[in-house]
Amino acid sequence: MQRALWMAGLASLVLTACSGGEDATGADVEADAGTAAAEQDSGTVAAEAQSAAVSGTLEWALAGDWRGENGARDEFRHPAETLAFFGIDPSDTVIEIWPGGGWYTEILAPWLSANGGTYMAAHFPADSESEVRRRSRASFEDRFTGSDLFGDVVILDWGPDNQGLGAPGSADAVLTFRNVHNWMRGGFTERAFSDFYAVLRPGGVLGVVEHRLPDTREQDPLAGSGYVQEAYIIAIAREAGFELAGSSEINANPADTADHPNGVWTLPPSRSGWEAEGFDSTPYEAIGESDRMTLLFRKPETDPVPAEDEG
């Protein structure tokens, strides 16, 4: 019965949902606050939507007043459609990689907790050498632990010096949003995808959203602009053993040229460089958030049989 309610609610969201960043450390940078009137209107709409939603459904989590102003970014991030495309069941064990400030945590944690699932955050290590990352981790812990709403959020240390995400085959899904460029800069992209493969059960899924560099442009191995070629990510995932199960244009933005003075961070919500004298932010505001690929990978039900040695 619970799964039937979830499927009905999710189908309604996908059919009716309206569609229209992070900093260099991977931590979310929230959009600037709007006017007081806009905030009040947004809060009223969210409250009305939540009161109309069935408790425990994804619709209920998306309309939650605990999301504050973050819900305004749904038009760029399309969480209902994205999670539907990834096939996330709320009874799953889901690991989110480097959740930053917890934009998706505010949706996933209460939804999973209400339906018997488990939300795990593979966050920056608590003892990271980066003060910014230590603060991000501490803020995340303060926000999401010890709460009846978010449930028993499990936080893992994960990064270049912290390999592994738990017992092999223990997760149903691994999700990551706009992070691959950070791993490229850190030089551990291949190992990251290997960790994802190891922790997933056979048939488990890996969902990836990333700023997209056109395949006609040369890929910087360190992804200094924040943009990554779709073909590059597919190749890395396949090397780790994954099968490409699908791709979607849910989070596409054709207006984004992927060519900006401060990389992807020039665009909202980061708005890097906008404070400089004489900087014309008008075209970047018009673009909105970045063009993003949305890729779904699956761990095979059975491991591939190695080719027999010749000779």
- Residue 172, C-beta contacts closer than 8 angstroms, at least 6 positions apart: 89, 92, 93, 94, 200, 201, 204, 205
The hierarchical CATH code for the domain 2-298 is 3.40.50.150
Q: What's the confidence (pLDDT) of residue 53?
A: 76
Q: Which helix (H) or strand (E) holds 232?
A: helix 230-240
CA separation for the pair 150, 158 (Å, rounded): 21
Q: What are the residue ranges spanned by the domains of the chain?
A: 2-298
CA separation for the pair 269, 22 (Å, rounded): 8
List the one residue out of 226, 232, 196 whose CA is nearest residue 211: 226
Is residue 290 a contact partner of residue 253, using CB atoms and an 8 Å limit?
Answer: yes
- Residue 116, C-beta contacts closer than 8 angstroms, at least 6 positions apart: 2, 90, 91
pLDDT per residue rounded down to tens, the chain (311 residues): 444 444 444 443 433 333 233 444 444 433 333 333 444 454 555 555 555 679 999 999 999 999 999 999 999 999 999 999 999 999 999 999 999 999 999 999 999 999 999 999 999 999 999 999 999 999 999 999 999 999 999 999 999 999 999 999 999 999 999 999 999 999 999 999 999 999 999 999 999 999 999 999 999 999 999 999 999 999 999 999 999 999 999 999 999 999 999 999 999 999 999 999 999 999 999 999 999 999 999 999 986 655 554 44
CA separation for the pair 71, 49 (Å, rounded): 12
Q: What's the confidence (pLDDT) of residue 46?
A: 54
E strand residue ranges, the chain: 93-97, 118-123, 154-157, 171-177, 200-213, 228-229, 243-248, 292-298
